[in-house]
Amino acid sequence: MFEAGVADRATPALAFLAEQGRYRRAVSTFPSLTPVCLSALVTGAHPDVHEIPHLVWWHRGEQRIVEYGSSFGAVRAAGTRRSLQDTIYELNASHLGAGAVTVYEALEDAGLTTAAVNITCYRGRTPHRPTVPMLTRPAHGPKRFFFYNLFESDVTGAPLSVWNRPGGTIDAYAGAVGRWLVTRDGFDFLVFYLSDYDYASHAQGPDAAHEALARCDAAVGSLIAAAGGEEEFLERYSVVLCADHGQTPVSEVARLQDRVDGLVTASNRAGMAYLDGDPRPAAERLDGAPGVDVVLFREGEEAVARRDGEELRLSRGPGGLETSGDRSILGEPDGLARAWAAIRNPNAGELVVSAAAGWEFADLGGRHHSGGGSHGSLLAGDSEVPMLTVGLDADLASITDVMPAALAHFGVALPAYARPPVRP
Ligand SMILES: [Zn+2]
């Protein structure tokens, strides 16, 4: 959709940026689901470090399900109040790994001002009081922090974002806040997150959300205008423009819950199972199951990727990941590293399941996007994202490369886990 929009100039602001910069397709993380991906973007790490495993997962420490909003039905099943608390607060306050560093923490510790608009991974050093009476606790975010009207570090006059995703009101709010910030040049580093496109693409399918894409383009264009025009915008800012994951069409639904003895947390195109004892028999029972592509589990210090009875074993060697078996099982972009990181996440289930093309796993409320678009698997369509950089001296092959590139751009030291930026 991005490439087509740029090629026929249906998205003039994106086309302008593409002319000024460097474009490539990059790879997301796995599961390729929003909370996992946004945490990867913001921390420069895969889930073995940032520890957010899925949209829905079992919290072993608190013996309960965490559900970040797969669907209204799933949220109701997990407990609406609990679910809102997890999404608004706990993802950042307690679930995001203590060993991970966010881009806001790293840049602000170096004396810079960072800003975030509507992104669900926002952990920072500054406490912000909520703007609505139903919330009472402060959230710790970047200095300039705007989160769906619930937290606003500054009075911007942006319209109250009534929750009407089909109408694009969430992005309209983001756009108004973004213009306010750019007009004042009120940041050194800004994360500007437009979430309505994903919603539209789920509903209409991955090749059809033209109207939502046009609204994204208009929002980006309004930032350029707020800087005083194209030249002024590029003089002032470097830009990374990307998605956190892709989408593919889905037409079939499987219930992983019916195939595994254990607690299943599934949503979109990835599932997990929390089991007592050896995970191998449960993995073997999924051989040939409808909708199941690859099943990951751990055996000692090794990880096993299994597809229809064939196996690939992964282990950490002195020179990186070593494998034995059928490498085509994890042949998708960056498949080895992404699978390894997903199953090494301490919050992941004993099984992590990647869905086959065209399939979705029903969530806790039995909901799915059949007939529309979805994502979450290891497959390329879910995992490839557009990656455009303007004025940045780095080749970003993965969404985990964005945070280190931002730090390097400002001359700030990277966390030990982060991969140093590669020169183009
Ligand atoms: Zn989505």
- Distance (angstroms) between ligand 1 centre and the Cα of 360 equals 12
Q: What is the pLDDT of residue 161?
A: 58
Mean pLDDT of 41-61: 98
Mean pLDDT of 1-13: 97
Whole-number Å distance between alpha carbons of 274 and 49:
20
Structure tokens at 87: 């999404």
User: Tell me: the pLDDT tens digits for 135-161?
Assistant: 989 999 999 999 988 999 999 988 765
More confident residue, 393 or 335: 335
pLDDT band at 216 (very low <50, low <70, confident <90, very high): very high
pLDDT band at 312 (very low <50, low <70, confident <90, very high): very high
- Distance (angstroms) between ligand 1 centre and the Cα of 170 equals 15
- Distance (angstroms) between ligand 1 centre and the Cα of 385 equals 13
- Distance (angstroms) between ligand 1 centre and the Cα of 387 equals 18
Q: What is the pLDDT of residue 149?
A: 85
Whole-number Å distance between alpha carbons of 406 and 424:
15
Q: What is the pLDDT of residue 162?
A: 62
Q: Which position has the token pair 């970047």?
A: 142
Torsion angle defined by CA atoms of residues 325, 328, 334 and 339, in that order, rounded to the nearest 10 degrees: -60
CA of 294: how far to CAs of 297, 308, 353, 378, in Å?
10, 8, 6, 8
Q: What is the pLDDT of residue 160?
A: 66
- Distance (angstroms) between ligand 1 centre and the Cα of 93 equals 23
- Distance (angstroms) between ligand 1 centre and the Cα of 112 equals 32
For residue 420, is the peptide bond before it cis, meaning its omega torsion is within 30 degrees of 0? no
User: Tell me: the pLDDT tens digits for 250-292?
Assistant: 999 999 999 999 999 999 999 999 999 999 999 999 999 999 9
- Distance (angstroms) between ligand 1 centre and the Cα of 356 equals 17
- Distance (angstroms) between ligand 1 centre and the Cα of 409 equals 30
Percentage of residues in the chain having pLDDT higher than 70 = 99
User: Tell me: the pLDDT tens digits for 338-364?
Assistant: 999 999 999 999 999 999 999 999 999
- Distance (angstroms) between ligand 1 centre and the Cα of 318 equals 37
Say how many CA atoms lie within 13 Å of 294 toward its Cβ: 29
User: Tell me: the pLDDT tens digits for 181-202?
Assistant: 999 999 999 999 999 999 999 9
- Distance (angstroms) between ligand 1 centre and the Cα of 50 equals 20
Q: Is pTM beyond 0.95 here?
A: yes
Percentage of residues in the chain having pLDDT higher than 90 = 92
- Distance (angstroms) between ligand 1 centre and the Cα of 32 equals 9
- Distance (angstroms) between ligand 1 centre and the Cα of 243 equals 11
- Which residues are within 8 A (CB) of 30 and not within 5 positions of it... i.e. 6 or more apart? 36, 46, 47, 270, 338, 339, 341, 342, 354, 377, 378, 383
- Distance (angstroms) between ligand 1 centre and the Cα of 246 equals 9
Tell me which amino acid residue 305 is: A
Q: Is the dihedral of CA 376, 381, 384, 390 positive or negative?
A: negative
- Distance (angstroms) between ligand 1 centre and the Cα of 202 equals 6
Report residue 247: phi and psi, to 5°.
Answer: -145, 150
Q: What is the pLDDT of residue 308?
A: 96
Decide if pLDDT at 381 tops 90.
yes
- Distance (angstroms) between ligand 1 centre and the Cα of 198 equals 5
**E runs forming strands in 43-110:** 56-59, 64-67
Burial bucket for residue 355 (CB in 10 Å: 0-12, 13-18, 19+):
buried
Residue-averaged pLDDT of the chain: 96
- Distance (angstroms) between ligand 1 centre and the Cα of 330 equals 23
Q: What is the pLDDT of residue 239?
A: 98
- Distance (angstroms) between ligand 1 centre and the Cα of 5 equals 20
- Distance (angstroms) between ligand 1 centre and the Cα of 375 equals 6
User: Tell me: the pLDDT tens digits for 382-397?
Assistant: 999 999 999 998 999 9
Burial bucket for residue 359 (CB in 10 Å: 0-12, 13-18, 19+):
buried
Mean pLDDT of 95-116: 98
Whether the CB-CB separation of 281 and 374 falls below 8 Å is answered with no
